[in-house]
């Protein structure tokens, strides 16, 4: 039975107005919405942000090219007029060329990917640094340090883009090879006593092995306490190996200095995690105690 929306008087179904306050009777059930339109949809349509195209247009490319070519020609003509050759003008011209590549390169590709833009930008900066070093005097002087560092940055940034995180083993392998190549290059550039095979490679292999163990322990995600305990044990042993390698390289004697202190912290913690994993009653008590 319907009721008046104003005074609450009980109404009959055929009434058009309330007999007490003369308010028009509105029965929502008798109002048919237009076809295909729901009065109250199940959910609001999601608000989608308009896509932003970060790739410059061809018109922008022509404009940037014109803006950069003018100072390039001016500096070149002044240098040729005064010094009868390319001397100081090489530096601003190379800088303008680098700026053009960084700004305008994406417009030359139809559908550039982030990996393509990243590779081109890092490659352009590396070429710029090498050209500065080559033109300023005997080569090489300083450019190899930032060049190899940029190459390592590319390795760490490009690996997830090439293999995706589902292939974590390929990513870790690519990172391992890139880091090993970088350390070997630094050892070759610096000269002096070689340290890569005696110090850098053993530490890198230890870190990589601990990382592989951490990846494999993802299979024990349903047993987090056991996985955490095993990783702490592997991490502790890795610290011991690193400590021993550093001492052997620096003093020629195999001894430990700081790693036993960390072992005294991590190993009992790992043992406690194993104990809690094996004892359901203790696990339930700690869950109630710490609200986890």
Least confident of 27-36, 91-100, 208-217, 274-283: 27-36
| Rounded-to-integer distance, Cα 11 and Cα 17, Å | 9
Cα angle 158, 159, 163; round to 5: 120
Which residues are CB-neighbours of 211 under 8 A, at least 6 positions away? 172
**Quick one: pLDDT band at residue 233, thresholds 50, 70, 90?**
very high
Burial readout 157-196 (b: 16 or more C-beta within 10 A, e: otherwise):
ebbbeebeeeebeebbebbbebbbebbbbbbeeeeeeeeb
Above 90 in pLDDT, residue 289?
Answer: no
Is residue 59 packed enough to be buried (19+ CB in 10 Å), middle (13-18) or exposed (0-12)? exposed
Mean pLDDT over all residues of the chain? 85
- CA distances to 116, 225, 255, 268 from 265, rounded to whole Å, are 46, 17, 19, 6
Check residue 198 and give its pLDDT.
93
Check residue 43 and give its pLDDT.
58
- Domain residue limits, the chain: 1-29, 193-292
Above 70 in pLDDT, residue 252?
Answer: yes
pTM exceeds 0.85, yes or no: no
| Rounded-to-integer distance, Cα 160 and Cα 178, Å | 13
Which residues are CB-neighbours of 233 under 8 A, at least 6 positions away? 266, 267, 270
Check residue 186 and give its pLDDT.
94
The pLDDT tens digits of the residues spanning 139-157 come to 888 999 999 999 999 999 9
Between 191 and 249, where is the model more confident?
249
Which residue matches tokens 């350390």? 183
| Rounded-to-integer distance, Cα 52 and Cα 284, Å | 51
| Rounded-to-integer distance, Cα 258 and Cα 243, Å | 7
| Rounded-to-integer distance, Cα 57 and Cα 227, Å | 52
| Rounded-to-integer distance, Cα 211 and Cα 30, Å | 68
Strand-pairing partners, residue 3, are 10
Q: What mean pLDDT is predicted for residues 176-181?
A: 95
Which residue matches tokens 């850098």? 200
What is the 3-state secondary structure of 151-196? Answer: HHHHHHHHHHHHHCHHHHHHHHHHHHHHHHHHHHHHHHHHCCCCCH
Which residue matches tokens 């390698």? 245
């Amino acid at each position: 039975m319907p009721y008046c929306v104003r005074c609450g008087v009980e109404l009959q179904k055929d009434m058009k107005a309330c007999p007490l306050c003369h308010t028009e009777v509105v029965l929502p059930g008798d109002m048919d919405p237009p076809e295909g339109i729901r009065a109250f949809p199940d959910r609001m349509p999601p608000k989608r942000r308009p896509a932003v195209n970060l790739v410059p247009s061809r018109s922008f490319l022509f404009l940037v090219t014109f803006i950069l070519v003018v100072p390039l020609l001016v500096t070149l003509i002044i240098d040729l007029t005064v010094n009868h050759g390319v001397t100081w003008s090489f530096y601003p011209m190379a800088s303008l060329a680098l700026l053009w590549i960084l700004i305008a390169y994406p417009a030359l590709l139809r559908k550039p990917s982030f990996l393509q833009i990243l590779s081109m930008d890092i490659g352009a900066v590396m070429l710029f640094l090498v050209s500065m070093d080559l033109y300023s005097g005997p080569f090489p002087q300083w450019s190899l340090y930032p060049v190899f560092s940029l190459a390592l940055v590319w390795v760490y940034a490009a690996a997830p883009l090439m293999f995706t995180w589902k292939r974590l083993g390929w990513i870790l392998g690519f990172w391992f090879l890139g880091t090993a190549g970088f350390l070997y290059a630094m050892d070759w550039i610096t000269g002096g006593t070689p340290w890569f095979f005696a110090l850098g490679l053993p530490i890198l292999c230890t870190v990589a092995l601990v990382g592989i163990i951490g990846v494999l322990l993802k299979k024990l995600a349903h047993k987090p306490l056991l996985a955490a305990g095993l990783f702490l044990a592997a991490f502790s042993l890795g610290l011991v190996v690193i400590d021993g390698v550093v001492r052997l390289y620096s003093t020629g004697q195999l001894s430990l200095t700081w790693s036993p202190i960390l072992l005294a912290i991590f190993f009992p913690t790992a043992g406690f995690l194993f104990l809690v994993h094996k004892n359901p009653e203790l696990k339930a008590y700690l869950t109630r105690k710490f609200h986890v």
